[in-house]
């Protein structure tokens, strides 16, 4: 792999497992020094995991780059300020930010008419507020540098609510698409681009555990005919994090094997428990 990102610093949030870990590893393979954050840096160390070292930080260092790892809640602005300060003390610049934290944080699914405000806000915070807080503090560094690439992680659910029991998650991911456009408009004059990806069904150890009984049904909805991989997403992140995408901003790319192109109006009213 060509080392296109040598001397660059990339921050990836929620990178202790799953797709975020894959982004961190790919950017490291491209030569970038990496900063990862997670509410639980050991989140990837479960039995079925394919993690190749004790921690993701160690995996990154094994690829020959420098790595920093910070454990904390991405909804806590003080934590994020500390992460940005420590990163600047170590490296002096931040070139790429991947806002990957997301999910329901154990809050689980539910119907909008039955959901507590507390549960709704929790999921909005995990998906939207973390993206806002990291973008705010990292963009203020990038503005001084007059360069940078911010990449937000939405979901196809932010465009079409695939499951009726995800009003909180779908609303949070839709708002991430909107925030991506607003930030792009504000930051273009500073040489900073802001884009997003919206993954479809992407296999991770956690996703497989939840959806194993439904895979056959789900695959039928995907024109490309298979569930996506973390690598499918990481390849698009490479495009958005490198000079290949220099004239692109405010965009959300669906990495979904054609899922939404096939049937954009389909919703699934079955409940599932993620
Ligand atoms: N897997 C999919 O099919 C899929 C589809 C569409 C979008 N996405 C999005 O992609 C991203 C990664 O998904 P994944 O499947 O790897 O999920 P995951 O749950 O495996 O990984 C999310 C990571 O974020 C961390 N995290 C959660 N809340 C946090 C918080 N408040 N502060 C700090 N860290 C926190 C978790 O500990 C975990 O390591 C998420 O934003 C998710 O919504 C995933």
Q: Indicate if ligand 1 lies below 6 Å from the C-beta of 151.
A: no
pLDDT at 44: 87
**Residue 274: predicted pLDDT:** 39
Choose, from 169, 190, 201, 247, the residue flagged as catalytic.
169
Q: What pLDDT, on the 0 to 100 scale, is given for residue 271?
A: 46
pLDDT at 262: 75
Ligand 1 centroid–CA 175 distance in Å is 16
Surface-to-core class of residue 1, CB atoms within 10 Å of its CB (0-12 exposed, 13-18 middle, 19+ buried): exposed
Structural domains of the chain ordered from first start: 9-262 (3.40.50.720)
CA atoms within 13 A on the CB side of 235: 8
Q: Is 204 in the pocket of ligand 1 (CB under 6 A)?
A: yes
- Ligand 1 pocket test target in 51, 82, 101, 179 with most atoms within 8 Å of CB: 101
| 25 CB near ligand 1 (under 6 Å) | no
Do residues 131 and 158 lie in contact, with contact meaning Cβ atoms separated by under 8 Å? Answer: no
* 123 contacts 168 by C-beta, under 8 angstroms: yes
Q: Is 98 in the pocket of ligand 1 (CB under 6 A)?
A: no
- Averaged pLDDT of the chain: 94
The Cα 187–Cα 237 span in angstroms is 19
- Residue 266's pLDDT is 56
Share of the chain above pLDDT 90, in %: 88
């Amino acid at each position: 792999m060509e080392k296109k990102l040598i001397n660059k610093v990339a921050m990836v949030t929620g990178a202790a497992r799953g797709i975020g870990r894959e982004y961190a590893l790919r950017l490291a393979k491209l030569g970038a020094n990496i900063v990862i954050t997670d509410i639980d840096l050991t989140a990837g160390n479960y039995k079925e995991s394919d993690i190749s070292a004790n921690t993701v930080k160690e995996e990154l260092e094994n690829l020959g780059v420098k790595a920093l790892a910070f454990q904390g809640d991405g909804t806590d602005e003080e934590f994020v300020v500390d992460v940005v300060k420590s990163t600047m003390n170590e490296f002096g610049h931040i070139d790429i930010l991947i806002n990957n934290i997301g999910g329901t944080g154990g809050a689980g699914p539910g119907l909008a008419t039955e959901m507590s405000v507390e549960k709704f806000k929790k999921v909005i915070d995990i998906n939207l507020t973390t993206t806002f807080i990291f973008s705010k503090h990292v963009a203020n560094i990038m503005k001084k540098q007059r360069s940078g690439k911010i990449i937000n992680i939405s979901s196809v659910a932010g465009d079409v609510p695939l499951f009726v029991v995800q009003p909180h998650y779908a609303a949070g991911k839709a708002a991430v698409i909107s925030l991506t456009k607003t930030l792009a408009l504000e930051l273009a004059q500073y040489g900073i681009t802001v884009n997003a990806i919206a993954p479809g069904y992407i296999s991770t150890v956690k996703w497989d555990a939840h959806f194993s009984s439904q895979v056959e049904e789900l695959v039928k909805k995907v024109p490309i005919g298979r569930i996506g991989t973390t690598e499918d997403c990481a390849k698009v992140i490479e495009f958005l994090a490198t000079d290949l995408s220099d004239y692109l901003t405010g965009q959300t790319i669906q990495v979904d094997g054609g899922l939404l192109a096939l049937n954009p109006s389909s919703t699934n009213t079955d409940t599932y428990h993620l």
